Amino acid sequence: MASGTEIQPKQRFGRLIERADGRDFPYYDGEPVDVAGWKWGLIVLACVVGFSALIFYPATNDLQSLVPRILFPAIPLTVFIGFTGRYWKALFNRLTGVDYLNMVVFWLLNLVVTSGVGLIVMALFGANANPATNGLIDGGPLQIVAFYAGTGIQLFGEEIFTILPFLAVMYLLFTKAKLSRKTSVILAWLITAAWFGAAHLPTYGWNFAQAFLVIGAARLVLTLAYMRTKNILVSTGAHVLNDWTTFTIALVAAGAAA
């Protein structure tokens, strides 16, 4: 364990939030490897670089978009693996039947939460549709396959874009600011939800209420999936279920209207 962290309270949340399996968040307390603050800074910067590749790469269709969608997670993961060596695998765990169930539970919970928040935001501030599927049906089967493959990779990238900063903030608050584990988790959870919402501002026409309240609420639920299981694959699974369902409904509606 990293020097100076032993005196910090490490009380866990109840079983409703954290499973009673003894699994803890990695890296924030020097386990399984110490990641210095400056390294976390570069990891977060790599997340920004990956996101920049995603939004600025000059792709004109979903086949071309596979390149930035792959770069989005690949850039920060490369830096992260470079700093953690063989311990990078602590970000992932082997999926169990309960993990698959958690994907479904958090997908449905996300649907309920975002639907409720979305109705309120739409009534008060208006809302913009996600343009991701615009014109997709006209591109034919190959473009549709590339779209689902690419968005699956991108959604994994969105989890990398959130969970690595979550662990970075938790490390800084617990190890450097000397806050308790619970306080560090809650603040990292809220800060990275705002970070994730801000990244979606261009997608939703710079509608701040929609990005920070609706998308931010979705992020809180998805990060809860990681907080419960300590497995980024679970939050990714819930995220894919959520967005692919939305995309599919939009495509079916577009096909019916054609």
Nearest to 63 by CA among 144, 127, 3: 144
Cis peptide bond N-terminal to 141, omega within 30: no
Supply 178's token pair: 């000397």
Supply 27's token pair: 């890296």
Model pTM greater than 0.75? yes
Domain-embedded: residue 167 = yes
Domain-embedded: residue 25 = no
| 225-to-70, 84, 101, 176 alpha-carbon distances in Å | 23, 23, 11, 26
Structural domains counted in the chain: 1
Residue 17: what pLDDT? Answer: 94
Residue 6: what pLDDT? Answer: 53
Domain-embedded: residue 12 = no
Domain-embedded: residue 75 = yes
pLDDT per residue as tens, the chain (258 positions): 444 445 567 889 998 999 989 899 999 999 999 999 999 999 999 999 999 999 999 999 999 999 999 999 999 999 999 999 999 999 999 999 999 999 999 999 999 999 999 999 999 999 998 888 888 888 889 999 999 999 999 999 999 999 999 999 999 999 999 999 999 999 999 999 999 999 999 999 999 999 999 999 999 999 999 999 999 999 999 999 999 999 999 999 887 776
C-beta of residue 102 within 8 angstroms of C-beta of residue 238: yes
Buried b (16+ CB within 10 A) or exposed e, 146-160: bbbebbbbbbbbbbb
Give the Cα separation of 69 and 45 in Å (integer).
17
Nearest to 222 by CA among 203, 201, 237: 237
Domain that residue 170 falls in: 37-257
- Count the neighbouring beta carbons within 10 Å of the beta carbon of residue 185: 24
Task: Give Cα 51 to chain centroid, integer Å.
Answer: 12
Domain-embedded: residue 185 = yes
Domain-embedded: residue 14 = no
| 200-to-37, 45, 164 alpha-carbon distances in Å | 27, 18, 18
Domain-embedded: residue 145 = yes
Domain-embedded: residue 250 = yes
CA distance from start to end of the chain: 60
